[in-house]
Amino acid sequence: MLSAITGVAGSGKSSLLACLPEDVAKRMLFMDQTPIKGSRRSNPATYTGALDAIRKAFAKANSTPDNTVKPALFSANSEGACPNCNGTGVIYVEFGFMGCVDVPCEVCEGRSLIRFPAESVSVSSSPREFVAQ
């Protein structure tokens, strides 16, 4: 479950969390305003480790005794990355006088799941699957 506490500055969000019983707080993962360590591609799924579990599940569901599918195939940061944009979905174009402009990658069209190679978008793990749309 993902829950969020929001409010204007000084409204008591941190004070509310400080009042949680210790046994409850131990079972929670707190994410605060501290910048996520990693890269510009880091997100809540990578930060919490959820994406690792998802990649492993897809790899396991699509492996056979003759063909082992690696979790890295479902990562835009490694083997699954589009070779043209390196898994970012965009190409950065320098104009010099205007600065840098990003345009959608022509190979993967900037779509997150199309960034993966053909062999990874054809595998599935019901009821959810990696597919090219």
Domains of the chain: 13-104 (1.20.1580.10)
Contacts for 123 with CB less than 8 Å, ≥ 6 apart = 58, 61, 62, 69, 129, 130
Quote the percentage of the chain above a pLDDT of 90: 5
Number of DSSP helices (H) and strands (E) in the chain, helices first: 5, 4
Q: Using one digit for the tens of pLDDT, what is the confidence trace for 40-96?
A: 777 778 878 888 898 898 888 878 888 888 888 877 777 777 888 888 888 888 887
Distance (Å, rounded) from C-alpha 114 to C-alpha 118? 8
Average pLDDT of every residue of the chain = 77
